[in-house]
């Protein structure tokens, strides 16, 4: 619970400064629009800045000679109830010319000099093509360049996008080709569709990258129409794997940012399932300085930034911090290996067992069912009282009951009342 009214930051702003420094730029807040449909034109970007966004990455610009087109019905979604938890697109990059973008950049920087404007670029698999496009972006007036090495659909078939980002050697080579040709900072956008994203990020930094952004979309198929027996989104009965975004990819994004933060020492811009200020805080805690948003804006509009700004300010104030920079990477040291957790001593069945708050319990019996069918048969059911009870001797402290309980705070941890011995098979030998 915030100490001040939720969206009233007139007073809280005196104690919390949301300005962030990203590479060499000062931004009024860490929230940015990622390179995507919400940044299709300069007019859209300016409306976003009016709404309060601290920065924006223009929809990926390619050389004028590059053929770009889009299919009708190029979006798809996966829902739980009425909520979209995953979104798919097979949309390509910007269809606007370099001249059109150049005119937009001048107007944007004239009206919003304090906002970070990043030019997302993509060229063919030729270092000189990348260098040429980067020189143009520098001269056009962008504050920073983002190299799109991550687009997972359409472009890789032409040696672009993830075709580059899935190879550390090309990532390093093309980054180096761009860096030596421009006077503005260079950020590399990573694809999550690799075995080791930190390895590729290291290659980008060796190439001279000033910052890393991650993640681009996750390659997937959003669903199958079981009546028509065709993949979605359907384009005349056909489809192709596309980029998955939205809340469902946040766990992947968090893992990738954490891996990258541990591997390199350049500033990070997080992307992937950021829908609220809470998501933003999570990404900052694992190492991100700025937060890029796309899908949430596509579903709710630019206005969501006001709640994000207010929520972040209230969170920082409640926790006793005066700026976002103070929380960047705070949780990172606690992300470790499976073997290192062993040292903490929480070995099953552990020193704790679930405790049920019967004042909150609605007697749905779900904890009992899942413990019987997918756990350790520790959650018993009292037929007379019609309530679940924990068998401490059987409980292996897996927490499945807590995960499925529909009532927040109904099941929590408590200390065991009986002596216990860890159930361990074999001898522990760390690698």
185-209 tens-digit pLDDT: 999 999 999 999 999 999 999 999 9
Q: Which domain holds residue 95?
A: 12-334
Last residue of a domain, one of 278, 313, 334: 334
Q: How many domains does the chain have?
A: 2
Does residue 7 fall inside a structural domain?
Answer: no
| Residues 317 and 282 placed together within one structural domain of the fold | yes
DSSP designation for 346: -
Chain-centroid distance of CA 308 in Å reads 15
pLDDT of residue 12: 67
Q: Which of 151, 294, 371, 410 is catalytic?
A: 151
For residue 268, what is the enclosing H or E element? strand 268-271
| Predicted local confidence at residue 378, as pLDDT | 96
Q: Which runs of consecutive H residues, i.e. helices, occur in 168-212?
A: 168-179, 197-206
Which residues of the chain register pLDDT less than 70?
Answer: 1-13, 430-431
pLDDT value of residue 294: 97
Residue with tokens 């190879």: 167
Looking at the fold, whether 178 and 48 belong to one and the same domain comes out as yes
Q: What is the pLDDT of residue 1?
A: 43
Q: What is the pTM of this model?
A: 0.94
Q: Is residue 351 part of a domain?
A: yes
pLDDT at 160: 87
**The CATH number of the domain where 373 resides is what?**
3.30.70.20
Q: What is the pLDDT of residue 282?
A: 98
Asked about 367 being catalytic, the answer comes back as no
**pLDDT by residue (tens digit) across 4-54?**
445 455 666 677 999 999 999 999 999 999 999 999 999 999 999 999 999
**CA-atom Rg of the chain in angstroms:** 24
Q: How far apart are CA 322 and CA 176, in angstroms?
A: 37
């Amino acid at each position: 619970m915030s100490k001040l009214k939720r969206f009233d930051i007139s007073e809280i702003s005196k104690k919390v400064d949301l300005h962030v420094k990203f590479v060499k730029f000062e931004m009024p807040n860490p929230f940015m629009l990622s390179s995507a449909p919400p940044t299709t034109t300069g007019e859209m970007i300016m409306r976003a800045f009016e709404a309060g966004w601290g920065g924006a990455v223009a929809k990926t610009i390619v050389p004028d000679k590059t053929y770009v087109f889009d299919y009708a019905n190029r979006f798809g979604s996966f829902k739980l109830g009425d909520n979209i938890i995953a979104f798919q697109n097979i949309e390509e990059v910007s269809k606007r010319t370099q001249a059109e973008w150049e005119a937009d950049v001048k107007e944007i920087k004239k009206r919003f000099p304090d906002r970070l404007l990043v030019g997302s670029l993509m060229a063919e698999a030729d270092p000189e093509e990348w260098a040429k496009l980067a020189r143009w972006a520098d001269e056009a007036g962008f504050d920073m360049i983002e190299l799109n090495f991550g687009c997972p659909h359409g472009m890789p078939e032409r040696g672009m996008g993830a075709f580059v980002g899935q190879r550390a050697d090309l990532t390093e080579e093309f980054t180096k080709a761009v860096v030596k040709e421009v006077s503005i900072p260079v950020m590399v956008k990573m694809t999550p569709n690799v075995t080791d994203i930190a390895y590729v990020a290291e290659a980008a930094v060796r190439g001279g990258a000033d910052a890393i952004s991650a993640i681009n979309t996750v390659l997937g198929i959003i669903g199958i129409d079981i009546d028509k027996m065709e993949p979605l989104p359907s384009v005349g009965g056909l489809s192709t794997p596309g980029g998955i975004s939205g809340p469902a990819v946040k766990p992947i994004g968090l893992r990738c940012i954490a891996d990258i933060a541990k591997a390199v020492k350049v500033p990070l811009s997080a992307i992937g399932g950021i829908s609220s200020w809470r998501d933003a805080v999570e990404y900052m805690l694992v190492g991100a300085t700025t937060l890029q948003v796309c899908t949430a804006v596509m579903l709710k509009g630019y206005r969501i930034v006001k709640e994000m700004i207010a929520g972040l300010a209230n969170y920082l104030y409640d926790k006793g911090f005066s700026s976002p920079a103070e929380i960047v990477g705070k949780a990172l040291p606690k992300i470790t290996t499976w073997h290192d957790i062993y040292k903490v001593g929480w070995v099953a069945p552990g020193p704790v067992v679930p405790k049920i708050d019967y004042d909150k319990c609605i007697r749905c019996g779900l904890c009992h069912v899942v413990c019987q069918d997918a756990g350790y048969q520790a959650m018993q059911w009292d037929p007379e009282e019609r309530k679940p009870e924990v068998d401490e001797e059987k409980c292996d402290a897996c927490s499945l009951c807590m995960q499925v309980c529909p009532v927040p705070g109904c099941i929590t941890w408590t200390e065991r009342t009986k002596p216990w011995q860890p159930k361990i098979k074999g001898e522990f030998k760390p690698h």
